[in-house]
Amino acid sequence: MAVLRRPWRLPLIGALALAFVSLALISGIAYIAVLAGATGTAERALVDRAARAVETQVSVVRRQLDPVTDHLELVAALAASGRIDIESSVGVREALAVMMTRVPAVSSAGFATLDLKLHRAVRHPDGLVTRDTVSLVDLPQGMARFRQLQTAQRTFWGALFWSEGLKQPVLNVRTPVRRIDDAFIGGLFATVAVGDLSYLIGEATRANEGRYFILVGHDKVLAHRRLVDPRGLGLSEDRSLPTIAEVGDPVLAKFWSQGAKRTVLNPLIDRALGDLGHVVEVEGRRWVFVYRELRLYGPEPWLVGQYSPIEEATGDLDRLTNGALVGAATLAVALLVALAMGLSMARSIRTITSAAESIERLEFEHPLHKRSHLREIDDAGQSLDKARGALKWFGAYVPHRLVFRLMELGEDAVASRRRNVTVMFTDIVGFTPQAEDLREQETADMLNHHFALLGACIDQDQGVIDKYIGDCVMAVWGGLSKMEDHADHAIHAALEMARVIREDNQLRAADGKTPVRLRVGLHSGPVVVGNIGAPGRVNYTVVGDTVNVAQRLEQLGKDFMRAEEEVIVLVSGDTIAAMKHPEALGELPTPELRHFKGREEPEQVYRLV
């Protein structure tokens, strides 16, 4: 096994001492060099200024788009905590409108709820903000985007899409809204029109005469002075962005021209540019392009950049003759270096704190530690990362609700006890022959998507997934803590599963995929809840005849389910009797009596779907 070599590291005290010694040394050397008459060249100065300009351009982009994410997450937090009443469509729309007044870049914002309604606020070209509520089903890709939010765990920027109302493409950021118990209650989105983005960026960088650009992919133009008003470019849903050859900018059109890289006559500029940019020649005039890749706002990376004529450097720089001024400037640079090192150490220490907080919240998806040259910080970070690696698997195999209950009650939380619960079993009909026609990864992707849909329904109704058995799911209501209405929640979750599976089958049919057919069985009764297993390997689970009957009800679905049906839900009479509000089901069908192995009395079986 290859041994990873550790980077060189310094003690924290040594790093601080080195920073200040370097400060004095750099200042002295620079002062002597200036007094000796060293000067820079105009071409190199242009490159340095261009590098700062493109960093400024990136900062401008982030100043326009990061507040969109921040405010969207703020609204999501308020909704999740109940400070925004999501049951009030008027209140939700007003909250979105207030957010839009605070973030000028937002062209529209919306809140999608579990009843498939979208409450939204839209800013029109005249500045007027209107509010309305529409059905997600009526919106193009509305249901698909909502399903993405249901299975998402954090805020993300989606792919660019066409806005028919604005007649231009829009960026979009989306975030799921989850209660403190991680139950999904809705999803928020905000859009930024390409025209508005070009205007806001261009306004902030107007000193560059509109020579800014943002490219997506190879040659699609996302931001440019021509896109401030995209009318006349023939954009549509099928062609949402113009190419560099279509925006009427002859310099930008030559961006990827043959031989654009390394057409510089001066080798100093050639070396200085490196990967920062390149020079092109258009009608006998040379232009310097500088750019930087940005991977924050969508599935595809952006190329953010500017260009300027190379001659601009000749009037901007004079030879530096005043050694004292240059010495003072060098001292300032050294001070900034020292400050940057201090800030870097502070960020590293904050990373350690955040890592510990993430472990406490059972968040293990991303590495917690970035390698550091500071010995103490690096050692602490590596220890936390090792703990994260071990705990990640613990969090994947143990329900989070059980973990939080262990953290709250300690070992008493897993003491074996008898409880009345409702147990659910689900099974995909004909999964084995269906999986034989799929590749291994396609099979895994199908199951993961299926389990995500069912898991969202179970979590939403306060259930706990006990285990996965092949393509089956076993879930329990009332196992972790006493739940008086466990049967009501379990039945509601089963009905939600039926609705979600049917909607997902419509999407699968549109993609030419085989629909998923599902059997669901529910039974209520007493079980033993606790740690079951050998001393070195236990599961916190439920055992008893109630579990066996629930599984047999799911299997009994074979006798009831017709070939054209997508979902069947069978519920025992004991589950109906355990409901606190059976009137919510309306008039129940006539039950059938079935004998189950090991039980003397026949069991009433109700078909709810």
* Residue 115 tokens, joined: 């009843």
pLDDT of residue 434: 82
* Residue 211 tokens, joined: 């020579």
CB 118 within 8 A of CB 149: no
Claim to verify: residue 65 and residue 128 sit in the same structural domain: yes
Q: Which of 377, 396, 415 is the last residue of a domain?
A: 396
Decide if 114 is inside a domain.
yes
CB 9 within 8 A of CB 235: no
Query: Which residues of the chain fall below pLDDT 50?
Result: 1-4, 12-13, 37-40, 260-265, 313-321
Which residues lie across from 473 on neighbouring strands?
A: 426, 468
pLDDT of residue 18: 67
Which residues lie across from 523 on neighbouring strands?
A: 423
Claim to verify: residue 172 and residue 260 sit in the same structural domain: no
Claim to verify: residue 151 and residue 16 sit in the same structural domain: no
Claim to verify: residue 585 and residue 478 sit in the same structural domain: yes
CB 86 within 8 A of CB 111: yes
Claim to verify: residue 516 and residue 568 sit in the same structural domain: yes
Residue ranges in 313-437 assigned as alpha helix (H): 323-360, 375-397, 400-409, 431-436
Q: Give first-to-last CA distance, the chain, whole Å.
A: 56
3-state helix, strand, coil in the chain (%, to 5): 45, 25, 30
φ/ψ bin of 243: left (φ > 0), alpha (ψ from -120 to 50), beta (otherwise)? beta
Burial class (CB in 10 A: 0-12, 13-18, 19+), 151: middle
Q: Which of 137, 162, 196 is the last residue of a domain?
A: 196
CB 426 within 8 A of CB 518: yes
Q: What b/e sequence results for 504-521 when a residue is b if at least 16 CB atoms lie within 10 Å of its CB, and e otherwise?
A: bbeebeeeeeeebbbbbb
Pairing type for strands 518-534 and 567-572 reads parallel
Decide if 2 is inside a domain.
no
pLDDT of residue 53: 76
pLDDT of residue 114: 92
Claim to verify: residue 475 and residue 580 sit in the same structural domain: yes
Torsion of CA 115, 161, 150, 182, to 10 degrees: -110
Tell me the residue range of the domain where 74 lies: 61-196
pTM equals: 0.45
Q: Which of 155, 192, 145, 154 shows the shortest CA–CA distance to 171?
A: 192
Decide if 5 is inside a domain.
no
Decide if 465 is inside a domain.
yes
pLDDT of residue 437: 81
Residue ranges in 484-592 assigned as alpha helix (H): 486-510, 545-560, 573-578
Claim to verify: residue 555 and residue 599 sit in the same structural domain: yes
Contacts of 421 (CB under 8 A, 6+ apart): 476, 477, 478, 479, 483, 486, 524, 525, 526, 527, 529, 542, 546
Number of domains comprising the chain: 4
Decide if 75 is inside a domain.
yes
* Residue 418 tokens, joined: 């008898």
